[in-house]
Structure 1
């Protein structure tokens, strides 16, 4: 009985070690410079595509060199008085040399084509 429990524990630990190792270690925090108009436009276009919107408005950041980008909710329509929409946060990462964004609320990953990102701190 003890041998069975020990074998099961070793098996479970082995599986969890396999899942946490390789996939996540390739990702690293990255930053983009939103003070560059071309970069800001490319990030906006990529996030608009990711959210299936025609265009998006990026939130204000404390620094132009940022690892997090926030997309503001769409403006109210002519017959709306309030909205329950919240801003959507995206974290910028590098994976195998490519710049990507990870949506914070659902974990979906989207490419940032034409965007240059630097390794974060």
Structure 2
């Protein structure tokens, strides 16, 4: 009986390792291949949707060199003197085929359609 249990557990563990390796897709940090107006417009559109706002401003940085992008808080209104809003960072990642931005605080992933990127450290 013990031998049968050990065999079953061993078989189950082997299957788990095999299926885990074949179905897992890893994302790796990435940079955009271009930072022209059209590309940045697409990125802003996805980030605006992720933030639930129509208009967003991006923090400083060259997205062809940086693996993250920051969405700045909205501008203060005419009756506001300060705001508790803070910038929201997103990481740029690729699965080898598609580019995504991942909201750092929640892990939510958004696909960057029609935007090309390359794994960080790899020349385009």
Query: Which TM-score bucket, shorter chain as reference?
Result: 0.7 to 0.9
TM-score, normalised by the number of residues in structure 1: 0.75
- Tell me how far apart the structure 1 counterparts of residues 60 and 49 of structure 2 sit (CA, whole Å): 20
User: How far is the alpha carbon of 1:65 from its aligned partner?
Assistant: 2.4
Aligned to 1:4: none
Aligned to 1:91: 91
- Tell me how far apart the structure 2 counterparts of residues 23 and 35 of structure 1 sit (CA, whole Å): 30
User: How far is the alpha carbon of 1:63 from its aligned partner?
Assistant: 6.4
Deviation string for 1:77-119 (max 9, x for gaps)? 1111100111011001112511111111111111111211112
Aligned to 2:24: 23
User: How far is the alpha carbon of 1:59 from its aligned partner?
Assistant: 0.2
Aligned to 2:56: 56
Aligned residue pairs total 109
Aligned to 1:32: 32
The reply to whether residue 107 of structure 1 matches residue 107 of structure 2 is yes
Check 1:63–1:32 CA distance in 2 against 1; reply closer, same or farther (3 A cut): closer
1:34–1:66: 8 Å Cα contact kept in structure 2? no
Could you tell which deviates more after superposition, 80-89 or 34-43?
Answer: 34-43
Mark the runs of 5 or more structure 1 residues left unpaired by the alignment.
1-6
Mark the runs of 5 or more structure 2 residues left unpaired by the alignment.
1-5
- Tell me how far apart the structure 2 counterparts of residues 73 and 95 of structure 1 sit (CA, whole Å): 29
Check 1:70–1:33 CA distance in 2 against 1; reply closer, same or farther (3 A cut): farther
